Chain A
Amino acid sequence: MTGLDLLFFLFQQMMYFSMPLLIVALGGLFSERSGVVNIALEGIMVMGALAGVLFIFYMQNYTEFAGHLLLLAAVLVAGLAGLVYSLFHAYAAIHLKADQVISGTALNLASTPFAIFVGRLATTKVIGRTVQQIPFKNQFRIASVPLLGDLPLLGPMFFKNTYITSYLCLLLLIVSWVLLYKTRFGLRLRACGEHPQAADSVGINVYKMRYAGVLISGILGGIGGLVLVIPTSTNFNATVGGYGFLALAVLIFGQWNPLKVFAAAIFFGFMKTISASSSSVLFLAKLPISSEVYKMVPYIATLIVLIFSSQSSSAPQAAGQPYDQGER
C-alpha cells in the first residue's frame, strides 16, 4: 500500500485504537480530578464490554432489534454496567477511605473471571455450547457516511469504514470539556481534587463530588470497553488486553487536560496502528526498524513526559488521598 490509500487506511485503523483510549482516559480524568485515583479502569472496561456485548448477543438471538440503534442501546447498557461496577470503587475509596490502588486492583482482578463465568452461562443457554467467548454479529460498520463520505480527502479519512461510536466519543469529549471548564459542577469537581479542605470550607460536599467523579469514570470506562471490542473482534473474550492501563498512560501523557488527552490518545493510537501495520506499509517495511520499536514508543514517550513534568506536574494535588472531614 502506498500513497493516499495508505493514509486513509492508517487513519481508519487509528480511530479504532484512539477512540476507546480517549474516552476511557477521559473517565480517568473525571475521577482523578475529583481526587480519586481510578486504576480500576481496566476492570470497568471489561464489565462494560461484557454487558454491552451480552446485550447485543441476546438482542441478535432473540429479537429483530438491529443496526445503529442497537449499538447505541448497547452503549447505554455498557455505561450503566461501568457505573455500577465503579460504585464498589467509589464506596471503598470515599466512604471507607480505603487505599485506592488496592481497591482498584481488586476490581481489575475480579472482572475477568466474572466475565468468563457470565460468558459461559449465557452461551450455554442460548447457543447450547459452553464457551467463554460471547459472539456477536458486527452489523454496525458504516462503509461510508452519506454525503460526508464523498468529501475529497477528509471523506475517506474520517467518514469511511467507521462506527457511530467514534463520533459519540468525540461528542463526549466536547461535553466533558464543557462540563469541566464551563459549569459550576466542573469547578467544584476540580476543587475537590486540588484542595478538598478548602472546597469543603465553602460548603461543597466533597464526598458527593467524588462520587460523581468516580461514577462518571465508570460510565465512560464501560462505554470505552464496548467501543474497543466492537470493531476489532467477532467475540468478547473476557479481556480488553490492557487498554485500561494504557488509558491511564494516555491520561498522564495528556496531563489531566481533556484536549491534551485527546492529542495523547491520537498519538498513542497512531503509534499502535503503525506498529501493527508496519508489515503492510511499504516505506516502513523497508526501514530497518522492528515493529517492536513502534510498540515501545508511546510508553517511552510517557516516561519522558513524566521526567520533564514531574516538577510542575498538573496532576490533581489531592488525587489518591482519602478525604476525612474530621481532619480539616
Chain B
Amino acid sequence: MGRKRISMFLKIALVLTLLGLVAACNQTPSTENGESEGTTTKFEIALVTDVGTIDDKSFNQGSWEGVVEYAEEHGKTYKYYQPASDSKDDLLASIDLAIEGGAEIIICPGFNFEVAIYEAQNTYPDIYFVLLDGEPHTEDWETFETNENVKPILYAEHEAGFLAGYATVLDGHRNLGFMGGQAVPAVVRFGYGFVQGADYAAEILGLEDNAIEVNYNYTGKFEATPEAQTMASGWYSAGTDVIFACGGALGDSVMAAAEATEKYVVGVDVDQSSESETVITSATKNLTKSVYDSLTEFYNEEFAGGATLIVDAKSVGVGIPMETSKFENFTQEDYDAIYAKLVDEEIEILTDMDADSPAELSTARTKVIVIE
C-alpha cells in the first residue's frame, strides 16, 4: 500500500516537473515576439523566418532588427513566425498565419520564399510583401513576375566579398580560404567576389601569377560542426592565413580553429568583430536598413513594389565595417578609393550567373583550389 502511494506520488511529481518545464518555456520575454502587453491581438508587421531561428546572429536577426527598430519608433505591433520547414507549403502556411494575425506587411528574408511569394502575391493582393535575397518566380523558373504589392530586394554580395578579398590581400595576406555554408546564390556571390577581390589586389600590387592561393569549399551546412572546425584547422595548419567564413553559425567553428592556431577570419552578413578577436573584418550587407527603409516607405504610402531593388555599393548597402576592422596596412583611404571604383562601375565582378565554379573566374594571379 505504502509503496503504491510512493509510486503515485513520484508519477505526479514527474508530471508536474514536465509541466513546469513547459510552463517555464512559455514565459517568453514580452519584447521578444513584440506583444505589447495589454489588449492588442493584431500584429501589423510580420516577419516569417528563413531556415534557422530568429536569433541566428546574421540573416534572420539582421532583418528582424529592422522590424523591431521601426515598430518601436513608430508604435507598431509586430511578430515573427517560424515556418516548420523551408518547403513552399510550410512557408505559405506561415504567411497565412501572419495574415490571420493581422499583418499588413510581411517581411520574408531568404530566396526560399521566391515561389511561395509568387503565389501569395495573387492570393493576397491587399497584403504587402518585402522579399529579401530573391525575386518571385514559378517553381520551374520559367516565369518571373512581381506584382505591385511585392518589393524584392537583391544584394550585390559579390561587391561585399570583393571588398573583403581586396582588403585582405592589400593588408598582406597571400594564403586565403573560403568556407561557405551551402552553394545558394548569395553565398556563391560572396565567394566569387572574395576571389576576384583578392585577384584584383594582386594585380594592383603587381604580384606574379598564382601568387595568391584560395582554398574554396562549401561545407553543406549553415551550422557549427566539429568537422568544419577540423577542416579549418587543417587549412590553417597547412599555411592558410585568413578564412572567409560565409554561413551563419559555421563561423563559430572557423573562429574556434583560428583562435587555436592564431590566424584570422573574415565574417559575413553583419559586423562579426565582437564574436572573436580573430575576425579582421566582415563582408556585410545592410539588411536592417533595407527592412527599416521598406517599412518607412510602406507607412508613408510610398511602397516601391513591382520592381526589384538592387542594393549595392551605389546605395551604400554593402561594404566592410572599417571602424571595427583590424587591418595593419589597409587604410580608410584605400577603402574609399576602391569603394568609389565600385560605385563608378569601373570593375566588372562576375557573379553566379557568369560562372559555374570559382575556377572559371579566370583569375590569373589567384589559384583557386576547389575542394569537393
A residues whose Cβ falls under 8 Å from a Cβ of B: 1, 5, 9, 13, 16-17, 88, 91, 95-96, 110, 113-114, 116-117, 120-121, 124, 129-133, 135, 138, 141, 161, 228, 231-235, 237, 239, 241, 243, 272-273, 275-277, 279-281, 285, 290-291
Contact = CB atoms under 8 A, between A and B. Distances in A.
B204 interface: no
A305 B141 CA distance: 47
B226 A279 contact: no
Interface string B230-270: 11011101100000000001001101100110000000000
Interface string B23-60: 01100010010000000000000000000010101000
Contacts of A114: 21, 25
B260 A237 contact: no
B182 to A, nearest CB: 15
Contact of B225 (A135, A141, A241): A241
B61 interface: yes
A325 B196 CA distance: 73
28 contacts: A9-B233, A9-B234, A88-B14, A121-B29, A129-B55, A130-B32, A130-B55, A132-B55, A133-B252, A135-B275, A138-B256, A138-B259, A141-B259, A231-B229, A232-B224, A232-B256, A233-B252, A233-B253, A234-B275, A237-B223, A237-B249, A241-B226, A272-B227, A272-B230, A279-B234, A280-B215, A280-B234, A280-B238
Nearest to A228: B226
B235 to A, nearest CB: 5
Contact of A279 (B7, B21, B32, B217): B217
B371 interface: yes
A126 to B, nearest CB: 13
Nearest to A282: B238
A276 B371 contact: no
Nearest to B230: A276
Contact of A277 (B53, B230, B252, B253): B230
Contacts of B249: 133, 235, 237
A9 to B, nearest CB: 5
B252 A273 contact: no
Contacts of A138: 256, 259-260
A231 B231 CA distance: 14
A290 B217 CA distance: 13
Interface of B is mostly: helix
Nearest to B57: A131
A179 to B, nearest CB: 28
**Interface size bucket, B side?**
35 or more
A1 B259 CA distance: 19
B347 to A, nearest CB: 30
Contacts of A17: 226, 230
B372 interface: yes
B364 to A, nearest CB: 23
A62 B261 CA distance: 28
Contacts of A96: 11
A180 to B, nearest CB: 28
B285 to A, nearest CB: 19
Contacts of A232: 224-226, 229-230, 253, 256
A276 B231 contact: yes
B252 A131 contact: no
Given A113-B25, A234-B276, A275 B227 contact: yes
A235 B224 contact: yes
Contact of A281 (B11, B29, B224, B234): B234
Given A114-B21, A237-B252, 5 more contacts: A17-B226, A231-B256, A231-B260, A241-B223, A276-B229
Would you list the 9 A-B pairs with minimal beta carbon distance, nearest first? Answer: A280-B234, A277-B234, A276-B230, A276-B227, A279-B371, A131-B55, A232-B226, A280-B238, A232-B229
A219 B99 CA distance: 47
Nearest to A281: B234
B10 interface: yes
Contact of B7 (A95, A233, A275, A276): A95
A277 B233 contact: yes
B253 A280 contact: no
Contacts of B24: 117
